[in-house]
């Protein structure tokens, strides 16, 4: 058999398209979700630094106790939002890189770019230029990482725990935010550059750990299939499923991925660079399964996640709590909110697989809206000490709803809804939408709450509460139930259901492999794939199935 060709077996039984979950599969996914630490840490430290006396003095020339001892709103906006702006562009470009160089290499490159950004920020002093440039570059790296980790995790995680695994990524985001707050808390009273340089410097550690670990992790089997490297896909799948390459489980799953890829490629022919981008916007806006609708769903899902207003608390919480006037230690309150965020996220590991994506997003939005309106009404009516305490309690409950529903749920959904030909770009577009809205919100909110500008104080929660009401309607109308399905079955479900509202009741009844002729009623079929396939065949995978129609040669069997 030349070139180490693979003899493939495929199944027509939809329940057999994946191997049982092993501890190794868990371990690989859990390690990859470590990328969330970057995301969280990098978004978490800025808010605290903005309220540090040394940092304020450095950037304003004012002394503690002076009137309006705070960084002007425009500078706060710029320093905070420039990271999200860099991340927006990073995430957007990451899809191209991930399709071309692979998911792993893209994430490792993201770590390198991110480290460069950290060097620039650490080197900065009183001037804005270097600091802002460093945050922009670091943002680029975070963009790569935040988009492609989701893609990678969704592509390697076993279907029954995919939601929980991607929620693990969100858990790491929350730990990152908490770590940032702890480091900021410990350095906030320093009256030297260590106050802000320590929180920035710590980030190198995350880059080193993630990049070194990823060297040992396999590339996504689905990427190999997309690139036509079926032998490599089989090896990678065997590692992530902890089964030998020639086990029926690996062969069945691989056949299913190949058949789905082939099916999707027939529907969405892969042309040149621009055509492959254009493919993300193909189809009718009225057709719920069209690529255009999936791209709108992914990008709007991330927009809605930002509309919940959670980053108002994480970015400007310290400044907001200070503005309420009665809180003696606003840093501590911010620390508590991030702790609530961390502790509530694991609830989703179970609920997302037990109740499904639609249910937790729907009820989560209701819970958040109620808490936000309570905060808004109580804070508008009175600003007494006891009302402020009650507000803080409801802010914590609100964070807890976010952390167990929309925080992980929005990422889980975007990792699952795109077909393989447009998956990398679709996830990248969705992640960049997250960062775009993140930027918009971080630019606008200082103006809404700053005492010298809008000074909305608690009334700002009317805005977030109303936006959460939009999330309720949005989930009901547009979010698909993808729990327990392979990524290939999600495709089929969208085709057959017609409406997200009916999706929860759908169950898989056939495999792509059987429909694409890769099986004959479950019989073992010899498919020779790998180097024996003509190198100039564009769809290497299509070549793989062509062998099915041909009589198997002695060599192939
Ligand atoms: C969001 C971030 C947010 C974080 C809070 C993520 O899912 O995308 O914007 O800061 O959750 O935990």
Question: Is the same domain home to 377 and 426?
Answer: yes
The mean per-residue pLDDT over the stretch 220-234 comes to 90
- Tell me if 548 is assigned to some domain: no
Token pair of 420, please?
A: 């393989």
Question: Is the same domain home to 428 and 480?
Answer: yes
Give the lowest-confidence range in 204-218, 245-259, 279-293: 245-259
Question: Is the same domain home to 422 and 378?
Answer: yes
What tens digit of pLDDT does each residue of 22-42 get?
Answer: 787 788 888 888 888 988 898
Residue that is last in its domain, among 278, 299, 314: 278
- Tell me if 453 is assigned to some domain: yes
Higher per-residue confidence, 320 vs 375: 375
Cα(169) to centroid(ligand 1), Å: 11
Question: Is the same domain home to 287 and 274?
Answer: no
- Tell me if 522 is assigned to some domain: no
Question: Is the same domain home to 62 and 190?
Answer: yes
- Residues of the chain with pLDDT > 70, as a percent, come to 87
Report the chain's mean pLDDT, rounded to a whole number: 83
| Predicted confidence band of residue 482 (pLDDT cuts 50, 70, 90) | very high
- Tell me if 543 is assigned to some domain: no
Token pair of 187, please?
A: 């350095």
What tens digit of pLDDT does each residue of 431-445 get?
Answer: 999 989 988 887 888
| Predicted confidence band of residue 232 (pLDDT cuts 50, 70, 90) | very high
| Predicted confidence band of residue 515 (pLDDT cuts 50, 70, 90) | low
Whether 272 shows a pLDDT value over 90: the answer reads no
Q: Closest Cα to atom 10, ligand 1: which residue? A: 311
Contact call for residues 397 and 374 (beta carbons, < 8 A):
no
Whether 1 shows a pLDDT value over 50: the answer reads no
| Predicted confidence band of residue 211 (pLDDT cuts 50, 70, 90) | very high
Task: Compute CA distances 139 → 38, 104, 111, whole Å.
Answer: 10, 19, 11
Q: Which atom of ligand 1 is nearest to the CA of 315?
A: 10
The residue to mutate among 37, 38, 40, 307, having the most atoms of ligand 1 within 8 angstroms of its beta carbon, is 40
* Whole-number pLDDT of residue 533: 36
Residue that is last in its domain, among 463, 497, 531: 497
Q: Closest Cα to atom 1, ligand 1: which residue? A: 407
Whether 524 shows a pLDDT value over 50: the answer reads no
Higher per-residue confidence, 249 vs 537: 249
Range of the domain at 155: 23-217+282-497
Q: Is the CB of 435 under 6 A from ligand 1?
A: no
Whether 391 shows a pLDDT value over 60: the answer reads yes
Question: Is the same domain home to 196 and 251?
Answer: no
- Tell me if 126 is assigned to some domain: yes
Whether 364 shows a pLDDT value over 90: the answer reads yes
Whether 506 shows a pLDDT value over 70: the answer reads yes
Q: Which atom of ligand 1 is nearest to the CA of 174?
A: 12
Q: Which atom of ligand 1 is nearest to the CA of 302?
A: 8
The mean per-residue pLDDT over the stretch 232-253 comes to 86
The residue to mutate among 38, 80, 173, having the most atoms of ligand 1 within 8 angstroms of its beta carbon, is 173
* Whole-number pLDDT of residue 221: 92
- Residues of the chain with pLDDT > 90, as a percent, come to 40
Q: For residue 529, which phi and psi values (nearest 5 degrees)?
A: -130, 170
Q: Closest Cα to atom 12, ligand 1: which residue? A: 174
CA distance 139 to 133: 10
* Whole-number pLDDT of residue 10: 57
Whether 534 shows a pLDDT value over 80: the answer reads no
* Whole-number pLDDT of residue 19: 64
Q: Is the CB of 37 under 6 A from ligand 1?
A: no
Q: In which region does residue 21 sit, left (phi positive, over 0), alpha (psi from -120 to 50) or beta (all else)?
A: beta
Question: Is the same domain home to 146 and 196?
Answer: yes
Number of separate domains in the chain: 2
| Predicted confidence band of residue 531 (pLDDT cuts 50, 70, 90) | very low
Q: Is the CB of 341 under 6 A from ligand 1?
A: yes
Q: Is the CB of 310 under 6 A from ligand 1?
A: yes
* Whole-number pLDDT of residue 43: 78
* Whole-number pLDDT of residue 463: 95
* Whole-number pLDDT of residue 537: 35
Q: Identify the CATH number of the domain in which residue 435 sits.
A: 1.20.1250.20
Question: Is the same domain home to 369 and 489?
Answer: yes
* Whole-number pLDDT of residue 340: 96
Cα(407) to centroid(ligand 1), Å: 6
User: Which residues, in sequence order, are CB contacts of 452 under 8 Å at separation 6+?
Assistant: 68, 73
Question: Is the same domain home to 417 and 490?
Answer: yes
The residue to mutate among 39, 143, 464, having the most atoms of ligand 1 within 8 angstroms of its beta carbon, is 39
The residue to mutate among 44, 139, 172, 305, having the most atoms of ligand 1 within 8 angstroms of its beta carbon, is 305
Contact call for residues 137 and 86 (beta carbons, < 8 A):
yes
Q: Which atom of ligand 1 is nearest to the CA of 173?
A: 12
Question: Is the same domain home to 252 and 344?
Answer: no
Find which of 106-120, 251-265, 539-553 is predicted with most confidence, using mean pLDDT: 106-120
- Tell me if 507 is assigned to some domain: no
β-bridge partners, 529 = 6
Question: Is the same domain home to 166 and 240?
Answer: no
- Tell me if 223 is assigned to some domain: no
The mean per-residue pLDDT over the stretch 495-509 comes to 87
- Tell me if 533 is assigned to some domain: no
Report pTM: 0.81
Q: Is the CB of 170 under 6 A from ligand 1?
A: yes
* Whole-number pLDDT of residue 555: 34
Tell me how crowded residue 514 is: count the other CB atoms within 10 A of its CB: 20
| Predicted confidence band of residue 366 (pLDDT cuts 50, 70, 90) | very high
Contact call for residues 96 and 151 (beta carbons, < 8 A):
no
| Predicted confidence band of residue 517 (pLDDT cuts 50, 70, 90) | low
Question: Is the same domain home to 342 and 243?
Answer: no
Cα(307) to centroid(ligand 1), Å: 11
Give the lowest-confidence range in 311-320, 482-491, 508-517: 508-517
* Whole-number pLDDT of residue 541: 38
Give the lowest-confidence range in 88-97, 152-161, 195-204, 447-456: 447-456
Contact call for residues 399 and 344 (beta carbons, < 8 A):
yes
Find which of 33-37, 135-139, 386-390 is predicted with most confidence, using mean pLDDT: 135-139
Q: Closest Cα to atom 6, ligand 1: which residue? A: 407
* Whole-number pLDDT of residue 9: 58
* Whole-number pLDDT of residue 14: 59
Q: In which region does residue 8 sit, left (phi positive, over 0), alpha (psi from -120 to 50) or beta (all else)?
A: beta
Q: Is the CB of 400 under 6 A from ligand 1?
A: no
Contact call for residues 97 and 106 (beta carbons, < 8 A):
yes
Cα(290) to centroid(ligand 1), Å: 28
* Whole-number pLDDT of residue 7: 41
For 391-395, which contacts have Cβ atoms below 8 Å and span 24 or more sequence positions? 391/324, 391/458, 392/321, 392/327, 392/333, 392/336, 395/313, 395/337, 395/371
| Predicted confidence band of residue 160 (pLDDT cuts 50, 70, 90) | confident
* Whole-number pLDDT of residue 556: 33
Q: Is the CB of 43 under 6 A from ligand 1?
A: yes
Task: Compute CA distances 548 → 9, 551, 557, whole Å.
Answer: 11, 7, 12
* Whole-number pLDDT of residue 270: 65
Give the lowest-confidence range in 263-267, 415-419, 534-538: 534-538
Higher per-residue confidence, 383 vs 142: 142
Find which of 356-370, 437-451, 495-509 is predicted with most confidence, using mean pLDDT: 356-370
């Amino acid at each position: 058999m030349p070139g180490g060709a693979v003899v493939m077996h495929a199944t027509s039984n939809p329940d057999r398209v994946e191997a049982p979950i092993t501890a190794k599969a868990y371990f690989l996914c859990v390690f990859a979700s470590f990328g969330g630490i970057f995301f969280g840490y990098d978004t978490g430290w800025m808010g605290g630094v903005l309220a540090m006396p040394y940092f304020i003095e450095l950037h304003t020339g004012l002394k503690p106790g002076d009137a309006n001892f705070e960084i002007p709103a425009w500078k706060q906006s710029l320093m905070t939002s420039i990271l999200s702006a860099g991340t927006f562009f990073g995430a957007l470009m990451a899809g191209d890189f991930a399709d071309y160089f692979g998911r792993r290499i893209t994430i490792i490159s993201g770590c390198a770019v991110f480290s460069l950004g950290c060097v620039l920020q650490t080197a900065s002093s009183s001037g804005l230029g270097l600091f802002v440039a460093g945050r922009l570059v670091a943002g680029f790296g975070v963009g790569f990482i935040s988009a492609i980790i989701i893609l990678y995790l969704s592509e390697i995680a076993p279907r029954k725990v995919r939601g929980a695994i991607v929620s693990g990524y969100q858990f790491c985001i929350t730990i990152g935010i908490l770590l940032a707050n702890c480091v900021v808390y410990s350095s906030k009273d320093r009256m030297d550059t260590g106050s802000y340089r320590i929180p920035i410097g710590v980030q190198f550690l995350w880059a080193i750990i993630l990049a070194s670990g990823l060297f040992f992790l396999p590339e996504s089997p689905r990427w190999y299939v997309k690139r036509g490297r079926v032998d490599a896909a089989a090896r990678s799948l065997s590692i992530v499923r902890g089964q030998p390459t020639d086990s029926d489980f690996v062969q069945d799953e691989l056949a299913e991925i190949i058949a789905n890829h082939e099916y999707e490629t027939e529907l969405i022919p892969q042309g040149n660079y621009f055509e492959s981008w254009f493919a993300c916007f193909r189809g009718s806006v009225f057709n719920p399964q069209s690529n255009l609708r999936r791209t709108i769903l992914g990008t709007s899902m991330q927009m809605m996640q930002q509309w919940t207003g959670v980053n108002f608390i994480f970015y400007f919480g310290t400044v907001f709590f200070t503005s309420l006037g009665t809180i003696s230690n606003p840093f501590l309150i911010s620390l508590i909110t991030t702790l609530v965020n961390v502790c509530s996220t694991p609830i989703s590991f179970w609920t997302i697989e037990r109740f499904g994506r639609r249910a937790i997003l729907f009820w989560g939005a209701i819970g958040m809206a109620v808490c936000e309106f309570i905060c808004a009404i109580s804070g508008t009516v009175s600003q007494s000490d006891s009302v402020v305490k009650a507000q803080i309690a409801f802010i914590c409950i609100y964070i807890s709803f976010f952390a167990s529903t929309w925080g992980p749920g929005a990422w889980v959904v975007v990792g699952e809804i795109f077909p393989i030909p447009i998956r990398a770009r679709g996830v990248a577009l969705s992640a960049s939408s997250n960062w775009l809205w993140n930027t918009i919100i971080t630019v606008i909110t200082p103006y809404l709450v700053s005492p010298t500008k809008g000074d909305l104080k608690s009334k700002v929660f009317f805005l977030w509460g109303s936006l959460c009401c939009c999330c309720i309607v949005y989930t009901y109308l547009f979010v698909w139930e993808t729990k327990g399905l392979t990524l290939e079955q999600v495709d089929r479900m969208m085709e057959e259901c017609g409406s997200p509202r009916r999706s929860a009741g759908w169950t898989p009844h056939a495999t792509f492999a059987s429909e694409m002729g890769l099986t004959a009623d479950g019989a073992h079929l010899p498919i020779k794939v790998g180097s024996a396939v003509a190198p100039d065949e564009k769809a290497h995978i299509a070549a793989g199935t062509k062998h099915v129609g041909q009589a198997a040669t002695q060599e192939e069997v």
